[in-house]
Structure 1
Amino acid sequence: MPNDTAVARYLNPPSLERPPGYSHVVDVRGSRLIFTAGQAGVDATGTVVGGDDVEAQAEQAFRNLSAALESVGCTASNLVKLTVFVRDMARLADYRRARDRFFNSVTPAIAPAVTLVEVSRLYSESLLIEIEAVAAA
């Protein structure tokens, strides 16, 4: 069953496996797209938050993503696509806990299309995750 919002429908066709916490298809009807740069687990001074804790770094990355969205009058409810880069796929559950809290922070809860990629390194050796996004308004 599609979840309709103001500018997007989040769909999971029955012929595809049921995804955990994201949608296979997002049908965007909005006329405005917002692209963010990758957001990492750093504060406004560039200091890494959370050390070796993927969940803490993901929480900070989502806080940064929220700030980026707010700067153009959007919230998490406007998200239609995330690309997530992680350094260690074995720690995926840590990322997912932070992701689920973030997606559930808006009503109705959203589940944008997500691509998750393991990478050997990010722009700083201390970073464990980076999240880029596309929103529609």
Structure 2
Amino acid sequence: MSDTPSIRLVNVPALGKAAGYSHLAEVRGGRTIYLSGQIAVDPAGQVVGEGDFTAQARQVFRNIGAALSEVGLTFGAVVKLTLFLTDMTHLPQLRAVRDEFVDVAAPPASSAVQVARLVRPELLVEVEAIAVGP
């Protein structure tokens, strides 16, 4: 087996049209990286964008990018995102920010969940990621 992963992102016709995500990610080879849920905090632990969903989402994706960079990867290695929002009406904003970071022609498999609250009351969004690299 090769150390270089083979990633195939698929939309399954029998599942209907996927809106901005892939139904599944098939991975062969490589190493799997599991990122803890990322929140909108800066390196000092201060919340970025309090009350501003888009600013918080952008910080979350910057944090994911920093974590990926630490292990030598980019957003191209992300095969799965799990999105946690305190208000599902913000999902279009979250997708717009996500699309600044991922390949929109082959987006990762994704799930979105509305939650009552995140770890800190001022937070509006949290995102987990799974990535695959060599």
TM-score by length of 1: 0.89
- Cα distance, 1:31 vs structure 2: 2.5
Aligned to 1:65: 64
In structure 2, C-alpha distance between the alignment counterparts of 1:24 and 1:9, rounded to whole Å: 11
Aligned to 1:3: none
> For 1:133, which of 99, 105, 129 is the aligned residue?
129
- Cα distance, 1:42 vs structure 2: 1.0
In structure 1, C-alpha distance between the alignment counterparts of 2:56 and 2:37, rounded to whole Å: 13
TM-aligned CA distance change 1:28 to 1:84, over 3 Å: same
- Cα distance, 1:7 vs structure 2: 2.3
Q: Structure 1 unaligned segments of length 5 or more: list them.
A: 1-5
Aligned to 2:29: 30
In structure 2, C-alpha distance between the alignment counterparts of 1:64 and 1:38, rounded to whole Å: 10
Q: Structure 2 unaligned segments of length 5 or more: list them.
A: none
In structure 1, C-alpha distance between the alignment counterparts of 2:121 and 2:65, rounded to whole Å: 24
2:115 is equivalent to residue 116 of structure 1 = no
In structure 1, C-alpha distance between the alignment counterparts of 2:111 and 2:125, rounded to whole Å: 13
TM-aligned CA distance change 1:27 to 1:116, over 3 Å: same
In structure 1, C-alpha distance between the alignment counterparts of 2:85 and 2:67, rounded to whole Å: 20
Superposed, 1:34-53 pairs within 5 Å as 34-53=33-52
Percent identity (aligned): 47
- Cα distance, 1:14 vs structure 2: 1.2
In structure 1, C-alpha distance between the alignment counterparts of 2:122 and 2:106, rounded to whole Å: 30
In structure 2, C-alpha distance between the alignment counterparts of 1:114 and 1:99, rounded to whole Å: 11
The residue type paired with residue 38 of structure 1 is: G
